[in-house]
């Protein structure tokens, strides 16, 4: 039995006007959308990208897997000046011919077809393990013999193995190499006429800070990566030029003090290396809404239940089934293009005359886990109302089991400029 924790994190659907106190959010345009649906806003993604890059003071690579929507890529691609990280052949096919920024392939299980496609597209490679290094060497040599020039090669390090006694327990995951494996990989690449241009390390999602801390949890990783890069210069036959230091930035926003302290800690490394970070969640989360329509309402003594046309099979992450403590979001409620308030009025109570109460928002499947939201002590909804969930721009659409009950995928809209 999971304990349920509700986060009341509703946000305005439109960017604030210059005079924010007088600005009135426009909800009417949502009323005629086909539901359930996602609404993505390219301008928000670009804004978040530029703000995060400024806080870090380094290059910023976009993790496309967080939001691989083609229309978003077309609208935002020009802003992703430092590059895009790609984890599949499908993502590579999506960006080829659409962006000019550097492309980084990063997947521990890259097969021969994916590697060949990356070589043909002049991608940079992040190599995760010795077996992948061996496959890459063979195919890169074939490509060079045919006249191709491979992109840069980076070695991915296991964060726990790199940090040693400074590692957090969760850093010892299954990604990347140990320093000893990195030495061996560097020597093998050099013997094949290939050089390592840099190192990559990532300690996982939501690891930059914990609980709003003013100190970055990952502050131990950059100097250790730099020290290892200096040591690898000898077997490499040339200095390593770049460090890609992962991300782990929260969609909720990390402490400004943590960014300032972390940025200062990177300053000594900038003289020897081109520094970069990557992010997907912190760039795209705020750029997406999930909109579902209330189809029926049940009024029970202890709560109201809103049955929606969208749920766990359209937005799996909202149901929070993977967490021991569920964090259900409190959606905005929109009726006839207007925001429904929480005050206990005759209009907001609806035809049933039900007083304000807790309302749970359930989807359209036969699973008891299909509960995606809860509003505390609020006006109960009516059939036809829209429930609007914020921060659904990263992973929500793609990390979802659309095949359950043969549901169609949620519709997707991208806001016009």
Q: Are residues 193 and 62 in the same domain?
A: yes
In sequence order, which residues have a C-beta less than 8 Å from that of residue 385 and are 6 or more positions away?
293, 294, 306, 333, 334, 335, 340
Strands (E), 98-190: 103-106, 124-127, 153-157
Contact yes or no for 146/157 (Cβ under 8 A): no
Q: Are residues 331 and 237 in the same domain?
A: no
Q: Are residues 310 and 269 in the same domain?
A: no
> Which of 256, 284, 312 is the endpoint of a domain?
284
> Which of 265, 284, 303 is the endpoint of a domain?
284
Q: CA 176, 178, 180: angle at the middle one, nearest 5?
A: 140
Domain count across the chain: 2
How far apart, in Å, are the Cα atoms of 44 and each of 19, 293, 332, 391? 18, 24, 19, 11
Q: Are residues 35 and 54 in the same domain?
A: no
Q: Are residues 13 and 146 in the same domain?
A: no
Q: Are residues 89 and 212 in the same domain?
A: yes
Structure token digits, residue 70: 């083609």
* Residue 157 C-alpha from the chain's centroid: 21
Structure token digits, residue 112: 């021969």
> Which of 284, 299, 334 is the endpoint of a domain?
284
Gap between the Cα atoms of 204 and 210, Å rounded: 12
Q: Are residues 277 and 395 in the same domain?
A: no
pLDDT at res. 321: 87
Task: With H, G, I as helix, E, B as strand and everything else as coil, classify residue 96.
Answer: coil
Q: Are residues 360 and 217 in the same domain?
A: no
Gap between the Cα atoms of 390 and 370, Å rounded: 18
Angle between helices 130-145 and 179-191 (to 10 degrees): 20
Contact yes or no for 258/214 (Cβ under 8 A): yes
Q: Are residues 183 and 114 in the same domain?
A: yes
- Structural domain of 260: 42-284
Q: Are residues 229 and 124 in the same domain?
A: yes
What is the biggest distance separating any 2 CA atoms in the chain, rounded to whole angstroms? 79
Q: Are residues 407 and 377 in the same domain?
A: yes
Q: Which domain CATH number covers 84?
A: 3.20.20.10
Question: Going residue by residue through the chain (417 aa), what tens digit of pLDDT does each one get?
Answer: 333 343 333 343 444 444 444 455 678 888 889 999 999 999 999 999 999 999 999 999 999 999 999 999 999 999 999 999 999 999 999 999 888 899 999 999 999 999 999 999 999 999 999 999 999 999 999 999 999 999 999 999 999 999 999 888 889 999 999 999 999 999 999 999 999 999 999 999 888 887 567 788 899 999 999 999 999 999 999 999 999 998 999 888 888 888 999 999 999 999 999 999 999 999 999 999 999 999 999 999 889 999 999 999 999 999 998 877 788 999 999 999 899 875 444 444 444 445 678 999 999 888 999 999 999 988 889 999 999 999 999 999 998 877 666 677 899 999 887
Q: Are residues 307 and 330 in the same domain?
A: yes
pLDDT at res. 147: 94
Q: Which domain CATH number covers 331?
A: 2.40.37.10
């Amino acid at each position: 039995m999971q304990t349920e924790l509700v986060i009341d994190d509703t946000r305005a659907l439109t960017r604030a006007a210059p005079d924010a106190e007088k600005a009135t959010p426009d909800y009417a345009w949502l009323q005629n959308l086909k539901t359930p649906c996602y609404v993505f806003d390219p301008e928000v993604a670009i804004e978040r990208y530029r703000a995060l890059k400024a806080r870090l003071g380094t290059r910023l690579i976009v993790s496309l897997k967080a939001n691989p929507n083609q229309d978003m890529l077309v609208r935002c691609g020009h802003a992703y000046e430092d590059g895009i990280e790609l984890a599949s052949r499908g993502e590579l096919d999506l960006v080829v011919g659409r962006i000019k920024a550097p492309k980084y392939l990063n997947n521990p299980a890259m097969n021969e077809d994916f590697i060949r496609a990356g070589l043909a597209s002049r991608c940079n490679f992040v190599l995760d393990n010795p077996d992948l290094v061996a496959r890459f060497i063979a195919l890169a040599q074939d490509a060079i013999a045919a006249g191709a020039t491979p992109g840069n090669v980076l070695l991915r390090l296991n964060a726990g193995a790199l940090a040693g006694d400074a590692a957090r327990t969760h850093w010892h995951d299954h990604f990347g190499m140990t320093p000893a494996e990195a030495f061996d990989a560097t020597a093998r690449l050099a013997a094949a006429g290939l050089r390592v241009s840099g190192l990559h390390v990532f300690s996982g999602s939501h690891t930059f800070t914990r609980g709003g801390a003013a100190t970055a949890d990952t502050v131990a990783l950059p100097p250790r990566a730099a020290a290892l890069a200096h040591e690898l210069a000898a077997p490499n036959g040339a200095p390593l030029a770049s460090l890609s230091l992962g991300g782990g930035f929260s969609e909720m926003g990390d402490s400004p003090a943590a960014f300032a302290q972390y940025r200062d800690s990177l300053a000594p490394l900038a003289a020897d290396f081109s520094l970069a970070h990557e992010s997907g969640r912190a760039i795209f989360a705020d750029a997406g809404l999930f909109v579902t329509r209330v189809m029926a309402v049940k009024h029970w003594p202890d709560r109201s239940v809103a049955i929606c046309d969208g749920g766990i099979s359209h937005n799996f992450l909202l149901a929070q089934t993977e967490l021991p403590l569920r964090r259900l979001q409190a959606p905005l409620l929109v009726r006839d293009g207007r925001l429904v308030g929480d005050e206990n009025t005759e209009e907001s109570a609806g035809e049933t005359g039900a007083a304000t109460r807790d309302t749970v928002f359930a989807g359209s499947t036969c699973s008891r886990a299909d509960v995606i939201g809860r509003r505390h002590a609020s006006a109960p909804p009516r059939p036809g109302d829209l429930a609007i969930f914020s921060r659904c721009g990263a992973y929500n659409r793609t990390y979802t089991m659309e095949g359950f009950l043969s549901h169609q995928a949620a519709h997707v809209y991208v806001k016009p400029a």
